[in-house]
């Protein structure tokens, strides 16, 4: 891909909707979607659909009966997503009770047009009655209950299992390619074509990827036996999901993708060419688009693929880059004298794209926020494709009658050949009419076992089952036909703003609490290349020299933990007298600083947040070389530091801006106000040397305190740079003191001084005990200690969980940041029934991780902080060798650095682990389905209470764990690290900390004194307020 073309695609990646939609509307001018011809054609198609009786059982009938935004629809979706993969009977029964038993199915009996759907509803209602008999006194349901109470749980499980399989059959053509080919024959006799997709969500392991690859190879050979004598466009074809045939199909692993994945794709293309079959690469998430285009580009240049016009790509119209991608593909066709197949789809990952963009704090969304804007994009792309049929064979995937009518009119105008595409099980009545007119339609036909279709099925249900979906409305006689014939281009033109205000911009998603800090898009090659270039050049500036601490005395040399021969900085240490001087200055500065307004102090924090953002790349580089952090970890940490500043600034304005009026008797004024405490000592750890360091400081400063800030001895460089930026932001030097020194010296000199009015500490429980004892031994005011310590953090996985998701979350929770997070997973409880499968997949996924120097963006995991940490972990492994079974161990890179291999060990009992092991080691314990209560007791009895993870699709299980687990942060069906300021306030209980939670609404209250003011307003005589109220 040329740099100019890449820049053009990049310019549209996250372009503002208010900029791109007007451009696309101009490009749709030739289409005339509001023409009477299009409306008339669409109306005939809709009427034709409604005049035909739906199949006895179909997905349309289910969607008609169960709105997926309803309780019933959600229950049905959850059952479909989870039931077929659950191996054990106890969990199957619990899942049925949880989903079916929570819904009034009886209200839907008789609503469907299909007898079989009504019978299925009756069966769900029957199951509900068995599970909750006597709760519903409605006559019909009560009658069902009287009969079905005689049924046994095995009968219920069998009935629900069959119902889920019936639902699965609506979307999956066959469980094997041969089965699918047989079933496709009748449709092909009616004029349809098929594109077969061997179902497989993203592979997690090399074994999964190889299995999917072989299934594609076998499918190509089987499809070849069904050639029908037509040209390549009339033949059955195949669709390939690249993430299914490589476990690391992502931009940051580009070198691996082209070394390992590309040869497989080429082999499939050569097989397709051999049989004159088309092969289309499926569209996936937006951050994989660029690398997919590079693969298409390279394939287009392959001499062995010359003269083959079957290479194709799916393009998602909901992406803002869609039109530019079509232009790129046209250019590719011209350059290499080939015709590419282009399947234009609306897109199926919309909700994921929105959430991911918000979580990462990116500039804007890669997708449109209004459905109508996606329609505009679709029509603009369609027009462009139909104008360039020499370079492109247009394939239009849609279930919308109005869109189909417009495409037919447009193709007629350009005299262009094309085809429609629809999903198997969807749009049959619509396309029966279109195919009868001689217009080709290809059915996108998923193939695979029902247990493999789950994520795919749910995505399709969500995409097509929403109230706004045309598929939902076209079969609903209550929806006027006029509503289905609204011209989307006219609708778009009538919007004052094209961005949907109901979906806030990423930076505004947390307002009014705070602005969402900015992130970097590591799925954008231009961004990644710029960051890598900066980080590489920054190495030439090392070692960094000190600028804000006194010269002379003891000096600490900081080395790159991944490359000990590289000096990062030289930091003078403060001696006892230096610390006393800092304490004198901070004490003297307190009175005037405490009298500044909360608004003034908050403004300084907001300025500091801007300074951090302005120096983003520099801070990233320091964190990489000093802390061994990956690109993703550095971005997250800088964002957290910024978030602490803006969140606490906003909190201080709210809490301290004005005295709080309190109720009381007439003639009396009562107010509560908050004030700083004095000098606060902030002692931070090396694992978050910027975010926690600044979070403590920001909280203390904004509440009117002066600060002595001690950084960890392993990471003074990033702390020093943060202090420099704080000074630039307006914090007076006498108010904030940078105190690099040993823990013992700070303990002896600072913590024993009665002028210390508060301590904020994050670190080990042992050190927290020592600090607490030191403060308690002083014969002075009792001083509050805010301690955030570690934990033996557990994750519980039951058999309803999706193994692929579980494995991803285990790797993130246990191994990201080399396991050096307070919140990291240490103890994994796996239900026996899925333990072997989970461990096997985890083993394969760990093998795919790349350990290496984190200056390379492709490194997944860096080293541990230093040789001492490495030795402590090795000592623990030596103990494990005698007491546990090694299950998994990653491969170490050739390096002199303090790398430690991520690994998993099987314990015979959870009682074997009674201390926090701070590194990438996860301990696994198996449990039986009926032992959940015992597992919770075991976790609670450890005495720690920081984070807990749970993977389960059963809400009753979630509620039980939530009610009984004594932990500060409980995460369900996601990773258990990465708490976000103001969203997931962080901190534990028991041995894991004192509270209040950092980044939460109560944190600042620990840094202040409360003062009550009471005044008798009638002391001078008379109660004017009371007298004025007399009627």
To the nearest 10 degrees (0 to 180), the angle between helices 371-387 and 17-27 is 40
788 is catalytic: yes
Confidence of residue 65 (pLDDT cuts 50, 70, 90): low
pLDDT at 481 over 60: yes
Q: Mean pLDDT check: name the lowest of 115-124, 239-248, 260-269.
A: 115-124
The pLDDT, as a whole number, for residue 73 is: 67
β-pairing, 563-572 vs 555-560, is antiparallel
- Structural domain spans, the chain: 3-33+173-448, 66-169, 575-789+1006-1010, 794-992
Predicted pLDDT of residue 104? 59
Which two structure tokens, joined as six digits, stand for 508? 């505004």
CA–CA distance, 211 with 317 (Å, rounded to integer): 31
Does residue 475 have a pLDDT over 60?
yes
**E-state strands within 241-384:** 279-281, 311-316, 340-345
User: Phi and psi of 483, rounded to 5°?
Assistant: -65, -30
Q: What is the pLDDT of residue 549?
A: 73
DSSP H helices, 52-152, are 59-65, 71-82, 89-100, 115-131, 139-148
Report how far residue 547's alpha carbon sits from residue 901's, in angstroms, rounded to the nearest whole number.
Answer: 37
* Among 531, 505, 519, CA closest to 643: 519
d(CA 741, CA 711): 8
The residue with tokens 């360039």 is 388
The reported pLDDT for the residue numbered 115 is: 39
Catalytic residue among 381, 645, 682, 822: 822
Residue 108 has pLDDT above 80, yes or no: no
Residues 59 and 390: their CA atoms lie apart, in Å, by 37
Model confidence at 467: pLDDT above 90: no
Q: Which residues pair with 341 in a beta bridge?
A: 312, 393
Q: What is the pLDDT of residue 105?
A: 52
Distances (CA, A) of 586 to 205, 603, 704: 56, 21, 12
Task: Write the DSSP symbol of residue 551.
Answer: S
Give CA angle at 59 (58, 63), nearest 5°: 125
| Active-site annotation holds for 822 | yes
Report the CATH number of the 575-789+1006-1010 domain: 3.40.605.10
At 66, the pLDDT band (50, 70, 90 cuts) reads low
**DSSP strand pairing (555-560 vs 921-927):** unpaired
The pLDDT value recorded for residue 382 is: 98
173, burial (CB in 10 Å: exposed 0-12, middle 13-18, buried 19+): buried
- Select 3-33+173-448's CATH number: 3.20.20.220, 2.40.160.20, 3.40.50.620, 3.40.250.10: 3.20.20.220
pLDDT score recorded for residue 97: 85
Question: Could you read off the pLDDT of 272-331 as tens digits, one per residue?
Answer: 999 999 999 999 999 999 999 999 999 999 999 999 999 999 999 999 999 999 999 999
Residue at token pair 């476990």: 247
Q: What's the pLDDT at 450? A: 73
Q: Which residue has the tokens 């005395």?
A: 553
Rounded CA separation 763/593 (Å): 29
**Strand 969-972 vs strand 947-951: parallel, antiparallel, or unpaired?**
parallel
Q: How far is residue 173's CA from residue 875's CA, in Å, rounded to a whole number?
A: 55
Rounded-to-integer distance, Cα 535 and Cα 855, Å: 6
Q: How far apart are CA 335 and CA 198, in angstroms?
A: 32
Selecting among 419, 428, 626, 788, the annotated active-site residue is 788
> H/E element holding 224?
helix 206-224
State the DSSP string of 406-418.
HHHHHHHHHT---
User: What pLDDT was estimated at residue 425?
Assistant: 84
User: 3-state SS string over 562-617?
Assistant: CEEEEEEEEEECCCHHHHHHHHHHHHHHHHHHHCCCHHHHHHHHHHHHHHHHHCHH
Q: What is the pLDDT of residue 131?
A: 43
In this prediction, residue 99 has a pLDDT band, given cuts at 50, 70 and 90, of confident
What backbone torsions phi and psi does residue 598 show, to the nearest 5 degrees? -55, -35
Q: Which of 777, 733, 730, 740 is nearest to 756 (CA)?
A: 777
CATH number for the domain whose boundaries are 794-992? 3.40.309.10
- The 10s digit of each residue's pLDDT in 632-680 is 999 999 999 999 999 999 999 999 999 999 999 999 999 999 999 999 9
| Residue 551 pLDDT | 66
pLDDT attached to residue 169: 74
Q: What is the pLDDT confidence band of residue 973, given thresholds at 50, 70 and 90?
A: very high
Rg of the chain over CA atoms, in angstroms? 32
3-state helix, strand, coil in the chain (%, to 5): 50, 15, 35
Sign of the torsion angle spanned by Cα atoms 528, 532, 534, 538: positive
403, 485 in Cβ contact below 8 A?
A: no
**How confident is the model over 164-205, as pLDDT tens digits?**
777 777 778 898 999 999 999 999 999 999 999 987 678 999
- pLDDT tens per residue, range 347-387: 988 989 999 999 999 999 999 999 999 999 999 999 999 99
The residue that leads in pLDDT, 1021 or 979, is 979
Contact 943, 911 (CB under 8 A): no
- The yes-or-no answer to whether 3-33+173-448 and 575-789+1006-1010 have a common fold is no
Token pair recorded at residue 192 = 């349809």
How much is the mean pLDDT over the chain?
Answer: 90
The token pair that represents 613 in the structure block: 């953002």
pTM > 0.85: yes
User: Phi-psi bin for 415: left (phi > 0), alpha (psi -120 to 50), beta?
Assistant: left
Residue 458 has pLDDT above 80, yes or no: no
């Amino acid at each position: 891909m040329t740099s100019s073309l890449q820049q053009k695609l990049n310019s549209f990646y996250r372009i503002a909707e208010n900029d791109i939609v007007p451009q696309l509307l101009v490009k749709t001018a030739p289409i005339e979607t509001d023409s009477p011809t299009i409306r008339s054609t669409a109306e005939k198609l809709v009427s034709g659909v409604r005049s035909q009786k739906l199949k006895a059982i179909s997905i349309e009938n289910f969607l008609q009966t169960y709105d997926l935004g309803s309780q019933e629809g959600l229950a049905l979706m959850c059952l479909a997503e989870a039931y077929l993969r659950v191996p054990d009977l106890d969990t199957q029964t619990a899942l049925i009770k949880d989903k079916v038993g929570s819904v009034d199915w009886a209200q839907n009996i008789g609503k469907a047009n299909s007898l079989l759907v009504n019978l299925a509803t009756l069966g769900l209602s029957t199951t509900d009655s068995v599970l909750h008999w006597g709760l519903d006194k409605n006559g019909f349901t009560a009658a069902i209950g009287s009969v079905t109470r005689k049924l046994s749980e095995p009968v219920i499980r069998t009935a629900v299992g069959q119902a889920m399989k019936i639902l699965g059959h609506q979307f999956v053509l066959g469980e094997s390619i041969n089965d699918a080919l047989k079933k496709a024959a009748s449709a092909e006799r009616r004029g349809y074509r098929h594109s077969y997709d061997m179902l497989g969500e993203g592979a997690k392991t090399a074994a999964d990827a190889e299995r999917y690859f072989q299934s594609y190879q076998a499918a190509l050979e089987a499809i070849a036996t069904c050639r029908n004598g037509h040209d390549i466009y009339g033949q059955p074809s195949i669709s390939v999901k690249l993430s299914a045939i490589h476990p690391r199909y992502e931009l940051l692993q580009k070198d691996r993708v082209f070394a390992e994945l590309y040869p497989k794709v080429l082999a499939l293309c050569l097989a397709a060419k051999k049989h004159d079959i088309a092969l289309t690469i499926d569209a996936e998430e937006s951050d994989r688009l660029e690398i997919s285009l590079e693969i298409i580009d390279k394939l287009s240049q392959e001499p062995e693929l010359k003269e083959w016009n079957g290479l194709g790509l799916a393009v998602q119209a909901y992406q803002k880059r869609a039109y530019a991608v079509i232009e790129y593909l046209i250019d590719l066709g011209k350059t290499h004298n080939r015709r590419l197949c282009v399947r234009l789809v609306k897109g199926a990952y919309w909700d994921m794209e929105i959430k991911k963009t918000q979580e990462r704090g990116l500039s804007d969304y890669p997708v449109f926020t209004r459905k109508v804007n996606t329609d505009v994009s679709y029509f603009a792309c369609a027009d462009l494709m139909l104008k360039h049929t020499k370079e492109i064979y247009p394939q239009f995937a849609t279930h919308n009658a109005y869109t189909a009518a417009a495409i037919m009119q447009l193709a007629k105008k350009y005299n262009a050949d094309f085809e429609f595409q629809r999903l198997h099980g969807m749009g049959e009545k619509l396309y029966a009419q279109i195919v009868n007119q001689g217009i080709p339609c290809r059915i996108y036909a998923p193939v695979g076992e029902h247990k493999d279709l789950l994520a795919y099925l749910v995505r399709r249900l969500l995409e097509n089952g929403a109230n706004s979906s045309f598929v939902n409305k076209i079969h609903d006689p209550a929806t006027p036909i006029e509503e289905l014939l609204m011209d989307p281009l006219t609708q778009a033109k009538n919007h004052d703003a094209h961005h949907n205000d109901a979906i806030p911009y990423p930076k505004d998603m947390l307002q009014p609490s705070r602005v969402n800090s900015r992130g970097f898009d590591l799925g954008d090659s231009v961004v990644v290349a710029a960051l890598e270039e900066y980080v590489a050049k920054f190495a030439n500036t090392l070692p960094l020299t000190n600028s804000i601490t006194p010269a002379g005395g003891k000096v600490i040399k900081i080395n790159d933990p991944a490359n000990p021969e590289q000096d990062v900085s030289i930091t003078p240490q403060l001696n006892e007298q230096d610390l006393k001087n800092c304490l004198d200055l901070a004490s003297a500065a307190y009175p005037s600083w405490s009298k500044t307004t909360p608004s003034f102090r908050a403004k300084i924090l907001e300025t500091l947040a801007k300074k951090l953002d302005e120096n983003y790349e520099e801070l990233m580089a320091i964190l990489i070389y000093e802390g061994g952090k990956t690109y993703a970890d550095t971005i997250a940490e800088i964002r957290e530091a910024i978030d602490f500043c803006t969140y606490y600034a906003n909190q201080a304005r709210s809490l301290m801006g004005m005295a709080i009026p309190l109720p009381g008797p007439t003639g009396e004024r009562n107010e509560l106000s908050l004030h700083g405490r004095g000098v606060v000592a902030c002692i931070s750890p090396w694992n978050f040397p910027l975010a926690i360091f600044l979070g403590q400081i920001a909280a203390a400063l904004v509440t009117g305190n002066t600060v002595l800030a001690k950084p960890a001895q392993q990471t003074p460089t990033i702390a020093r740079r943060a202090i420099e930026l704080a000074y630039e932001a307006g914090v007076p030097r006498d108010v904030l003191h940078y105190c690099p020194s040993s823990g013992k010296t700070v303990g002896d000199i600072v913590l024993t001084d009665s002028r210390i009015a508060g301590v904020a500490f994050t670190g080990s429980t042992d050190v927290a005990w020592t600090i607490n004892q030191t403060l308690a031994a002083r014969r002075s005011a009792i001083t509050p200690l805010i301690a955030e310590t570690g934990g033996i953090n557990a994750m519980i996985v039951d058999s309803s969980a999706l193994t692929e998701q579980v494995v991803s979350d285990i790797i993130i929770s246990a191994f990201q940041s080399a396991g050096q997070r307070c919140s990291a997973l240490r103890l994994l409880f796996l239900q026996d029934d899925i333990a072997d499968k989970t461990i096997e997949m985890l083993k394969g996924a760990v093998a795919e991780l790349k350990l290496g120097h984190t200056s390379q963006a492709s490194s997944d995991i860096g080293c541990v902080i230093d040789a001492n940490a490495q030795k402590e972990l090795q000592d623990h492994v030596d103990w494990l060798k005698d007491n546990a079974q090694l299950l998994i161990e990653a491969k170490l890179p050739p390096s002199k650095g303090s790398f430690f291999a991520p690994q998993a060990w099987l314990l015979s009992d959870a009682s074997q682990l009674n201390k926090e092991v701070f590194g990438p080691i996860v301990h696994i314990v198996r449990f039986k389905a009926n032992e959940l209560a015992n597992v919770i007791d075991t976790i609670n009895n450890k005495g720690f209470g920081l984070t807990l993870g749970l993977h389960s699709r059963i809400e009753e299980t979630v509620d039980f764990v939530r009610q009984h687990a004594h932990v500060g942060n409980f995460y369900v069906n996601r990773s258990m690290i990465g708490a976000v300021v103001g969203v997931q306030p962080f901190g534990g209980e028991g041995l894991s900390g004192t509270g209040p939670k950092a980044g939460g609404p109560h944190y600042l209250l620990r840094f202040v004194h409360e003062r009550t003011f009471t005044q008798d307003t009638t002391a001078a005589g008379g109660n004017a307020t009371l007298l004025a109220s007399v009627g």
